[in-house]
Amino acid sequence: MSTTTVEEMAEVTAPEPFWSRQRHLGVALILIGGLAAVVFGSLAPSEDARFTLSEDSAGAALAINGQFGAVLFGLLTAAAGGVLLAGLLKRWSNVFLVAGILSFLLSFLCWQVAGEFMPLVDTTDGTLELALPLILGALAGVLGERSGVVNVAIEGQFLMGAFAGALVGTMAGSVWAGLLSAAVGGVIIAAILAVMAIRYLVDQVVVGIVLNLFALGITGFLYERLMQPNAQEYNQPPQMPEWRIPGLADIPVVGPVFFEANLLVWIALVLVVVIHFGLSRTRWGLRTRAVGEHPTAADTVGIRVRGLRYLNVLLGGVVAGIGGAYFTLVATGSFTKNMTAGAGFIALAALIFGRFTPFGAFGAALFFGFAQKLATYLSAIGSPVPSQFLNMLPYLATLIAVAGLVGRVRAPAADGQPYIKG
Amino acid sequence: MKRFWSANNFTLTALSMLMAVVIGGVLIIISDATVLAKFGYFTARPSDAFESSWLLVSTAYADLLKGALGDPAVFSAWFSGEATWQQAFAPISETLTYAAPLVFTGLSVALAFRGGLFNIGAQGQAVLGCIAAGVAGFTFGLPIALNLIVAVVAGVLGGALWGFIPGLLKARTGAHEVITTIMLNYTAGLFLAWLVIQQGIQAPGRSDAISKAVAESAQLPSPGGVLRVHLGIILAVLTTAGVAWLLNKSAFGFEIRAVGANPHAAKTAGISVAKTYVLLMAVAGGLAGFGGATQVLGTAHALTPSVAGNIGFDGLLVALLGRTRPWGTLFAALLFGALRAGGNRMQSFSGISLELVTVLQALIVIFIAAPALVKAIFRLRASRATGLGASLAKG
């Protein structure tokens, strides 16, 4: 996204003031750590918080006294903050930051889970499942944005993919036909985005937003005209089978999550690695990054800027369309109106929070998936923490990230700018 | 005629609408099983397929028009004394009711756009406006008129706060307003969903997510009965005039336009770009909050998680269709309101899903935003006055 920042125009500030970013973060961590130790610690009942390795409350478990855990991890958060504030080990400041945030999370969990149990398999499984469309959507975004095309139409591509997957999957009676046409559905939206943004130079954010509404309208319209009156014929797609890899699936926690899964999980994981290496190690990746950072320079050395952008946006459409298939072929057995309900925007948030890199987006998507899973888990055990606030987490985290409070997010330099051959 | 065929704004808008309507017609036909069956023997009797398609599409669009502007049959019934004048004017009342909040959200987006900011956050700002106006509406219990004014002002302030945040972040840290406003939209939606089920807010004795009703003295006055139209549409026209004045005649408006045209030049000329961004986003947020307030105080009368509907995102389309001019936005909002009101009738009379209206609206704006595409399709001559493409291409 083109960022005409005000700051860039301001005068150069003095180098390295005492209150550096690191020290600010240190103070923040000490404050929330102390708060966690006092508030969570006093609220938590003095009972065991059990994190079971199985689906139910029986069996092997990691257990800790809830009150003790809440105080302990709160103090650890504050300690990590103390290291940052003291300015020690500057090279490792990010590690301490992550450690501080994680122990804050654990302190919170000790308070919530005390007297209850949290099945780790179910939690990890649910996290990955909820993160699945986010991973694919964010990867679609990575492909487009790294070549300089902003894609806010991930939501629309999800919807189109979900719809096409359900429709064709049912009519052909094959889940693979559904998956293929989901990809085509995503490509349709991507193609309109590409033509409008690259050929007709319309503002990419405008096209993206309008395409979201277009996809919402057209899938809703066809749903009400075709699928609702005739669900049997058009809206009962077969479900994606779960495959189990013998041996590997018996590993505790990790096994059932990764090795007894549907194809989409593996597609997503493979794509993260493939796109990462593609971007950093191949000719295509180098060219993509060049086009996204400085299209004029790329053009000068003979790279076809527009052609590459078309290619990347369409590839992104394939990936996002497959992400849409998750909604109808994996999560639920049928299409409903506006069923993605903003997931495309969480994927966008994951993309930005992950700093436009495949692994970053993957990590952010897992984090957001975990927040959602935690929200459902907490409301199931009757926690006083409202699920809406946990669901806000992805948005607030991204807000903090782009505001530069936790390291500035920098978009590709030519992101959002159409290239006019001069 | 020659001038008409050159690519001026009017021609482009008219042709965009025409193309949207044609594509909508195709969608109606291909989603209708009985008509589609007639295309099965198209080569044998093409007239069958054409006749039934024409009948289907023309009835649907006729219902759309009747629902938006008025049914001639009801008008003649009124003249012969068989129907009341209220019934005759009910469709127009519906159009104005749907248009009122869209004028505000549209103005919000349009104003920010002129300052070079893309306010996608009108939705979240409208939600905050709904919350503040609604809560003020059933809490204070002030006497008539005063209660209404307090509720409206609360709504405006709520929206202004939600616009102020991305403005401040942009000015202080350079965080792009598109990203921050998208994030704030969903934050606001979730906050509303949480708020309406809290004690003291939720309507007593209800288990579903709905708040207490806004006090009668805080509601926007309306003729009542089948006429749902309320004072909001008059406030909308006044606000349009106010925004037009602000933008074109006031010093702040000059600063907005200068910063929008070229922030570097504006800074050189001594305008504080940061201050303009913050103030502009707060004002834009206030406008969207006003829109949310009219929605709650004029139509819904109580908070629900979906009380703001889609008015923020629709406002975005309205502003683009109105070419980010205040009066243009007003007319675009009226068009969208008419489509929405007509869509309701089309849904209940012809059985064509209301979603068709969303498709039509999106298509119109896609074509408007890509004048080069429309020109290419209709082989229009180039014209100097095709401002939007150029102004949108900046991002």
- At residue A140 the predicted structure's pLDDT band, cuts being 50, 70 and 90, is very high
Residue A17 confidence (pLDDT): 66
Interatomic CA distance for residues B64 and B58, integer angstroms:
10
Instruction: Inspect the interface and report whether the beta carbons of A152 and B182 lie closer than 8 Å.
Output: yes
**Ranges A244-253, A305-314, B3-12, B282-291: which has the least confidence:** B3-12
Q: Is the pLDDT of residue B346 over 70?
A: yes
Residue B2 confidence (pLDDT): 58
Residue A259 confidence (pLDDT): 77
Interatomic CA distance for residues A239 and A262, integer angstroms:
10
Q: Is the pLDDT of residue A417 over 90?
A: no
pLDDT digits 0-9 by tens, A87-96: 777 777 778 8
**CA angle B275-B278-B279, nearest 5°?**
85
- Tell me the average pLDDT across B132-151: 87
- Tell me the average pLDDT across A149-158: 92
- At residue B393 the predicted structure's pLDDT band, cuts being 50, 70 and 90, is very low
Residue A24 confidence (pLDDT): 78
Residue B394 confidence (pLDDT): 38
pTM confidence score = 0.86
Contact criterion met (CB below 8 Å) for A200 and B370: yes
- Packing angle of the helix pair B9-30, A204-222 (nearest 10 deg): 30
Instruction: Inspect the interface and report whether the beta carbons of B361 and A213 lie closer than 8 Å.
Output: yes
B192, exposed or middle or buried, with CB in 10 Å at 0-12, 13-18, 19+?
Answer: buried
Q: Which residue has the higher pLDDT, B261 or B41?
A: B261
CB-CB neighbors (< 8 A) of A225 in chain B: 31-32, 352-353
Q: Is the pLDDT of residue B119 over 70?
A: yes
Q: Which of B5-14, B37-46, B186-195, B196-205 has the highest mean pLDDT?
A: B186-195
Q: Is the pLDDT of residue A349 over 80?
A: yes
For CA atoms A279, A283, A286, A292, the dihedral sign is negative
CB-CB neighbors (< 8 A) of B359 in chain A: 214, 217-218, 221
Interatomic CA distance for residues B88 and B83, integer angstroms:
7
* Residue A393: closest C-alpha in chain B: B187
Residues paired with A390 in a beta bridge: none
Type of residue found at A231: A
- At residue A14 the predicted structure's pLDDT band, cuts being 50, 70 and 90, is low
Residue B368 confidence (pLDDT): 87
Instruction: Inspect the interface and report whether the beta carbons of B393 and A207 lie closer than 8 Å.
Output: no
- Tell me the average pLDDT across A230-243: 83
Residue A286 confidence (pLDDT): 92
Residue A57 confidence (pLDDT): 63
Mutate which: B32, B118, B131, B176, vs A, most A CBs within 10 A:
B176
Interatomic CA distance for residues B59 and B53, integer angstroms:
10
Using CB atoms, which residue from A204, A342, A389 is nearest to B395?
A: A204
- At residue B391 the predicted structure's pLDDT band, cuts being 50, 70 and 90, is very low
- At residue A78 the predicted structure's pLDDT band, cuts being 50, 70 and 90, is confident
Residue A60 confidence (pLDDT): 65
Interatomic CA distance for residues A42 and A47, integer angstroms:
12
Q: Which two tokens stand for residue A206?
A: 């405008």
Instruction: Inspect the interface and report whether the beta carbons of A399 and B358 lie closer than 8 Å.
Output: no
Residue B265 confidence (pLDDT): 92
Mention every residue, 6+ apart, whose C-beta is less than 8 A from residue B300: B130, B307
| Mean pLDDT score of chain B | 86
Beta strands in A292-345 (DSSP E): none
Asked if B186 reaches chain A (Cβ–Cβ under 8 Å), the answer is: yes
Residue B127 confidence (pLDDT): 96
Using CB atoms, which residue from A3, A202, A342 is nearest to B176?
A: A3
Phi, psi angle pair for B23, to nearest 5°? -65, -40
Contact criterion met (CB below 8 Å) for A156 and A344: yes
Asked if A171 reaches chain B (Cβ–Cβ under 8 Å), the answer is: no
- Tell me the average pLDDT across B59-77: 87
Interatomic CA distance for residues B389 and B394, integer angstroms:
9
Q: Is the pLDDT of residue A247 over 50?
A: yes
Residue A53 confidence (pLDDT): 72
pLDDT digits 0-9 by tens, A23-41: 878 888 888 888 888 888 8
Q: Is the pLDDT of residue A256 over 70?
A: yes
Residue B387 confidence (pLDDT): 44
Q: Which residue has the higher pLDDT, B78 or A116?
A: B78
List domains and CATH numbers for chain A.
Answer: 6-115 (no CATH), 121-402 (1.10.3470)
CB-CB neighbors (< 8 A) of B389 in chain A: 200-202
CA dihedral B168, B171, B173, B179 (to 10 degrees): 70
Q: Which residue has the higher pLDDT, B41 or B137?
A: B137
How many C-beta neighbours within 10 Å does residue A284 have?
A: 14
CA dihedral A366, A367, A370, A375 (to 10 degrees): -140
Q: Is the pLDDT of residue B202 over 70?
A: yes
Q: Is the pLDDT of residue A8 over 70?
A: no
Q: Is the pLDDT of residue B389 over 50?
A: no
Work out whether strand A117-119 and strand A48-52 pair parallel, antiparallel, or are unpaired.
Answer: parallel
Q: Name the helix (H) or strand (E) containing B9.
A: helix B9-30
**Ranges A8-12, A130-134, B220-224, B271-275: which has the least confidence:** A8-12
Phi-psi region of A292 (alpha: psi -120 to 50; beta: other; left: phi over 0): alpha
Contact criterion met (CB below 8 Å) for A206 and A153: no
- At residue A5 the predicted structure's pLDDT band, cuts being 50, 70 and 90, is very low
Mention every residue, 6+ apart, whose C-beta is less than 8 A from residue B61: B21, B25, B346
Mention every residue, 6+ apart, whose C-beta is less than 8 A from residue B63: B342, B345, B346, B349, B350, B352
Contact criterion met (CB below 8 Å) for A136 and A106: no
| Mean pLDDT score of chain A | 84
Interatomic CA distance for residues A316 and A139, integer angstroms:
7
Contact criterion met (CB below 8 Å) for B211 and B305: no
Residue A405 confidence (pLDDT): 59
Q: Is the pLDDT of residue A183 over 90?
A: yes
Type of residue found at B370: A
The DSSP secondary-structure symbol of A238 reads P
Phi, psi angle pair for A410, to nearest 5°? -115, 120
Asked if B168 reaches chain A (Cβ–Cβ under 8 Å), the answer is: no
CB-CB neighbors (< 8 A) of A201 in chain B: 372, 389, 393
Type of residue found at B353: S
Query: Between residues 232 and 251 of chain A, which touch chain B (CB distance below 8 Å)?
Result: none
For CA atoms A396, A399, A404, A410, the dihedral sign is positive
**Ranges A3-17, A386-400, B193-207: which has the least confidence:** A3-17
Using CB atoms, which residue from B353, B362, B373 is nearest to A225?
A: B353
CA distance A229 to chain B (A): 11
Residue B7 confidence (pLDDT): 60
Residue B249 confidence (pLDDT): 92
**CA angle A135-A141-A142, nearest 5°?**
85
Q: Which residue has the higher pLDDT, B280 or A54?
A: B280
**Ranges A256-265, A345-354, B68-77, B148-157: which has the least confidence:** A256-265
Please tell me the total number of residues recorded for chain B in this structure.
395
Burial B301-310 (b: 16+ CB within 10 A, else e): bbbbbebbbb
- Tell me the average pLDDT across B37-42: 75
- At residue B385 the predicted structure's pLDDT band, cuts being 50, 70 and 90, is very low
> ipTM of the assembly?
0.86
CB-CB neighbors (< 8 A) of B366 in chain A: 192, 196, 207, 210-211, 214
Please tell me the total number of residues recorded for chain A in this structure.
422
Residue B3 confidence (pLDDT): 60
String of DSSP letters for B336-384: HHHHHHHHHHHHHHH---THHHHHHHHHHHHHHH-HHHHHHHHTPBP-S
**Ranges A7-16, A223-232, B384-393: which has the least confidence:** B384-393
- At residue B395 the predicted structure's pLDDT band, cuts being 50, 70 and 90, is very low
B261, exposed or middle or buried, with CB in 10 Å at 0-12, 13-18, 19+?
Answer: middle
Query: Between residues 12 and 31 of chain A, which touch chain B (CB distance below 8 Å)?
Result: none
Please tell me chain B's helix, strand, coil percentages from 3-state DSSP, rounded to the nearest 5: 75, 0, 25
Contact criterion met (CB below 8 Å) for A199 and A193: no
